[in-house]
Structure 1
Amino acid sequence: MKKSFNVRTYYYDTDHMGVVYHANYLKWMEIARTEYFRDVLPYKEIEDMGIMMPVKSLNIEYINSIGYDEDVEIIIELKEITSIKIRFFYEIYGKDKVLKATAETLNVTIDREGKLKRLPKDILNILKG
């Protein structure tokens, strides 16, 4: 399943060279994951069940720069889900649908103490769609 959302860049998103600072892509990816879950099972509800999903690994490739006041589209796709891990793929586009970056995150499911915790089957089935 894929989802898409849009953001606009502001001055505070840019660095001294006038392009979006690289860490902002991570912020957009976090927003994309939250929005992805919102329509299926809100992340807050998952946390209320005692399940956290921290990022275990991240790979990002910056392809083209994004500048100030540019509309940006972030497409997120769930690539893999098991009872203890979720892998997402991202495509980030700028104006004129030019690909700016691609990325992948691997999130794991843990309890509040930081120990691996399997998703219950009913929750796993909901997230699989």
Structure 2
Amino acid sequence: MSRFSESIPVRVYYEDTDHGGVVYYANYLKFMERGRTEFLRAIGLELDAIETEFGILFAVTEAHVRYQTPARFNDLLEVDTSLIEMRGARLAFTQTIYHQATRRQLCTATIRLACINRESAACRIPAPLIKILQNHLNKEHI
């Protein structure tokens, strides 16, 4: 199976930084959220349509982030996202944020999500979604 990933550009705005012009650590999680949303969009899945059709949402249950080099105001970054696990009610993604011009790796993360219903109870990922997601599962990481 070939490796599927989705990469998106993210510009660092002043609002993303601390007083010293360095990206505030929690904002990397926002960039990664955008990356996961665009990953799903790239494979034909829209989060609002998933909620409407199946009555489910995905909630982050765990985020393991390793920060290596800071990004700064006005940097252009690239967020690379790969699906690495899918089991029952769980998904896991690996995400890497690079400085676009230098390709220097800034941070890496493994993000785990739970499939939940509208009452916030864990539930299995619906079969039609599993079928689509399986085609984009990166088994190199397993």
Please indicate the TM-score interval, normalised by the length of the shorter structure. Answer: over 0.9
Taking structure 1 as the reference length, the TM-score comes to 0.95
Deviation sequence 1:4-35 (CA, Å, 0-9, x none): 00011111111012101111101001101110
Deviation sequence 1:34-78 (CA, Å, 0-9, x none): 101112211111111211110000010100010111110000010
35, 40, 48: which one aligns with 2:38: 35
Gaps of 5+ in 2: 136-142
Residue correspondence of structure 1 range 84-103 to structure 2 within 5 A: 84-94=89-99, 95-103=101-109
Matched, 1:76 2:81: yes
Moved over 3 A (4+): none
Aligned-residue RMSD, C-alpha: 1.0
Taking structure 2 as the reference length, the TM-score comes to 0.87
Give how far 1:122 is off: 2.1
Gaps of 5+ in 1: none
104, 115, 132: which one aligns with 1:109: 115
Q: In 2, distance between residues paired with 1:119 and 1:10? A: 35
Aligned residues: 129
Give how far 1:82 is off: 1.9
Q: In 2, distance between residues paired with 1:30 and 1:124? A: 20
Matched, 1:60 2:65: yes
Identical amino acids, percent of aligned pairs: 36
Deviation sequence 1:68-122 (CA, Å, 0-9, x none): 1111000001001123100000111013000000011100101111111112222
2:82·2:93 contact (CA, 8 Å) conserved in 1? yes
19, 26, 29: which one aligns with 1:26: 29
